[in-house]
Amino acid sequence: MLSVVVPLYNEEENIPQLVTSIQEALVECPQWELVLVDDGSSDDTARVAAGIACTDARVRLVRLARNYGQTKAMQAGFDHARGEVVVTMDGDLQNDPADIPRLLAKLDEGYDLVAGYRLRRQDKLLTRKVPSWIANRLIAWMTGVRIRDNGCSLKAYRRSLISQLHLYSDMHRFLPALAAATAAARIVEIPVQHHARRFGRSKYGLSRVAKILADLMTITMITSFRERPLGLFGTAAAGSVAAGAVVLYLWLRSLALYRVEPEGAYVLPAVVLLLVALAVYLVMLGLVAEVTVRSATQEEQDTMRRPLRGLAS
Ligand code: UDP
Ligand code: MG
């Protein structure tokens, strides 16, 4: 069975066409369901979606009590999806349901995640495409997972992969990186269509940039230092000690040359002390992080590390 999950926030005008396109795209699919997630819309989204759910038993509506954001809405959809395969897409008709069969065919070749990339993206250049281009490069560089278009919602997943991931903040954009790092997933990309928005408005502006940068740091922590946080904090502490050593040398030199001016007498030794204290603090923080990681239940760590292949079979 296939589950299509679509988060909706104030998309009332798009829903009828969206559902029709999905129904048309899936005529050859023997068994499917459509999980519409109303993310606390303030327009008629919930009413329109509920109306359609009444006429087609394959369409289900999940309503969130308030606006939680696209990532949480997607997670709610995952929690309610019953299919072995889950496809996600935007509800604003920017993604094209006609691409779903191609995603499924690719998944059948033995992948855990098929990510679409928008071949001719129909969005504004300066505020959307350029930041997105930079973000994709950054994500690839920091996580080591090379995905051309992390922001494209049109993706297909195996259930076994979905159930190992827990999404929060704006992390739906980092799903491939998270999947590769924590679940050893096999990932592939295929080009998909992209249309300009006809009804409603985009829910994001440039404000997403800060959020994505913060999430990127969290993801890097999860993907690279999950096992050994002391490595990260230790490296930072070493940097601090190195800087301290340089200042110490400057101080001793100024003493040796009898040029003891106020900055030499007070400022330099104070800076050395500060840098050394910072290093000690960082190491202690690293140790605390180590303890936290270790005490995370062994069971959870086991499921996170179990290779997907085994689960899928
Ligand atoms: N969305 C949501 N909750 C939000 C913001 C957006 O469920 O708080 C949904 C929105 O209805 C759409 C999808 O997420 O189906 C993508 O949003 P949008 O089209 O605004 O993003 P863009 O295409 O501009 O990146
Ligand atoms: Mg959109």
pLDDT (tens, 9 = 90+) of the chain, 313 residues, equals 999 999 999 999 999 999 999 999 999 999 999 999 999 999 999 999 999 999 999 999 999 999 999 999 999 999 999 999 999 999 999 999 999 999 999 999 999 999 999 998 988 888 889 989 998 998 888 888 888 999 999 999 999 999 988 888 888 888 888 888 777 789 999 999 999 999 999 988 778 888 888 888 888 877 777 778 898 899 999 999 999 999 999 888 888 886 666 666 788 899 999 999 999 999 999 999 888 877 764 556 565 555 554 444 3
The alpha carbon of 185 and the centre of ligand 2 are apart by a number of angstroms equal to 27
The alpha carbon of 279 and the centre of ligand 1 are apart by a number of angstroms equal to 43
pLDDT of residue 62: 98
pLDDT of residue 312: 41
The alpha carbon of 203 and the centre of ligand 1 are apart by a number of angstroms equal to 5
The alpha carbon of 90 and the centre of ligand 2 are apart by a number of angstroms equal to 6
The pTM score is 0.82
* Tally of CB atoms within 10 A around 220: 19
pLDDT of residue 296: 67
Which of 5, 62, 92, 150 has most ligand 1 atoms within 8 Å of CB, for mutation? Answer: 92
For ligand 1, whether the C-beta of 45 sits within 6 Å is no
6: phi then psi, degrees, rounded to nearest 5: -130, 115
- CA neighbor of 218 nearest in space, from 232, 202, 201, 199: 232
157: phi then psi, degrees, rounded to nearest 5: -130, 155
Integer CA distances (angstroms), 49 to 78, 79, 169, in order: 18, 19, 25
Check the CA dihedral 137-141-146-150 and report its sign: negative
